Structure 1
Amino acid sequence: MALAIGDKVPQFTATDTNGANFDSTTIIGKKPLVLYFYPKDNTPGCTAQACSFRDQYEDFLDLGAEVIGVSGDSLASHQKFTKQYKLPFLLLSDSDRKLRRLFGVPTSLFGMLPGRVTYVIDTEGVVQYVFNSMLAGQHLPKALAAVKKIVAQ
């Protein structure tokens, strides 16, 4: 079952870009979070999406928010992707698809491709916005608008 607007995000752990064990409680419930799931490192759409979040990362930080990307790629792949495109935010490795199942991220293209879904989570750890679209370029502006709305409340 997919997490929806109004749902509290359950606690989770995953390996981050630095090889460390990321615990969601270090951020979720403390600051707004944009958690975006994407299909694969180094593909055209995913690279464009990651670079758009990179290019406007300061805008999210200025609002007190954090950005984290999640895909099924390995730690080594995430490290290479981060270094190549100078990504300033964490990527979480979800090779066992545990996080995709936890959030209920659907697959697309008849189940062949992991879905692209962005969640915006408030300071209470509650999902305030969900955007499910394979159109990579549409995620950043919608996520930024949702964070601005949270901060304005």
Structure 2
Amino acid sequence: MLNPGTPAPDFELKNSQGESFSLSDLQNKKNVVLYFYPKNDTRGCTAEACSFRDQFEIFQEHGAEVIGVSSDDLASHQKFSTKYQLPFTLLSDPAGKVAKMYGVPKTLGLIPGRATFVIDKSGTIQYAFNSQLKPLEHVHNALRILQQLSSDNT
């Protein structure tokens, strides 16, 4: 898994509307909370997504964009996003290429992993967290790091 201090690899994936999204589009504009999760509409992933949703305004106040990535297809992302009224971008990584670029480990070598990266405006990873079993800690920890980044810039 990529470590803090590492430049975040750029990538291009499709969002739930089928539009291309590139990480570099946000560079020098916003901090990014990039989170990888195993599957739409499963218990842990739904709890994590809804927690990001419920804290979304706070992430925005800290100048951050929240981006969720899984191997689910665009239709699945669209359905998941609508069902839970998710205000952030979900990206489809069907072959797991971006997850591999970031070194997101698979659980038991099979199940896509759960990892969160906080990337600052300059494109540097400031925080990396990997835990399949604690989806809500990803949200809490990402917020804490963003608060530190905000206070460092004041």
Which runs of structure 1 show a deviation greater than 2 angstroms over 4 or more consecutive aligned residues?
A: none
Offset of residue 94 of structure 1: 0.3
Q: Which residue of 2 aligns with 1:34?
A: 33
Unaligned runs of 5+ in 2: none
Aligned length: 151
TM-score computed with the length of structure 1 as normaliser: 0.96
Give me the whole-angstrom Cα distance separating, in 2, the residues matched to 1:114 and 1:29.
30
The equivalent residue for 2:86 is: 87
- My pick for the range that moved more, 2-11 or 125-134, is 2-11
TM-score, normalised with respect to structure 2: 0.95
Residue 45 of structure 1: how far off its partner (Å): 0.2
1:9-54, Cα deviation, whole Å (9 max, x unpaired): 1221000122101111111342111000000000000000000000
Instruction: Report the secondary structure of 1:137's partner residue.
Output: helix
Coordinate RMSD, CA, aligned = 0.9
**In structure 1, C-alpha distance between the alignment counterparts of 2:27 and 2:8, rounded to whole Å:** 8
2:63 partner SS: coil
Contact 1:28 1:121 in 2 (8 A): no
Per the TM alignment, residue 84 of structure 1 is displaced from its structure 2 partner at its CA by 0.2
Partner of 2:118: 120
Q: Which amino acid aligns with 1:73?
A: D
Q: Could you say which residue in structure 2 is the equivalent of 1:104?
A: 103
Please state how far the C-alpha of 1:137 moved relative to its aligned partner: 1.4
TM-superposition CA deviations, 1:123-150 (whole Å, max 9, x none): 1100000110011111111000011111
Q: Which runs of 5+ in 1 are unaligned?
A: none
Following the alignment from structure 1 to structure 2, what is the Cα–Cα distance between the partners of residues 69 and 38?
7
**Structure 2 counterparts to residues 1-153 of structure 1, below 5 A:** 2-108=1-107, 110-134=108-132, 135-153=134-152
- Give the secondary-structure state (helix, strand or coil) at the position aligned to 2:104: coil
Distance 1:97 1:59 in 2: 29
Partner SS, residue 70 of structure 1: strand
Q: The residue matched to 1:99 in structure 2 has which SS?
A: helix
Q: Which amino acid aligns with 2:95?
A: D
Question: What letter corresponds to residue 24 of structure 1 in structure 2?
Answer: L
The separation in 2 between residues aligned to 1:102 and 1:36, in whole angstroms, is 13
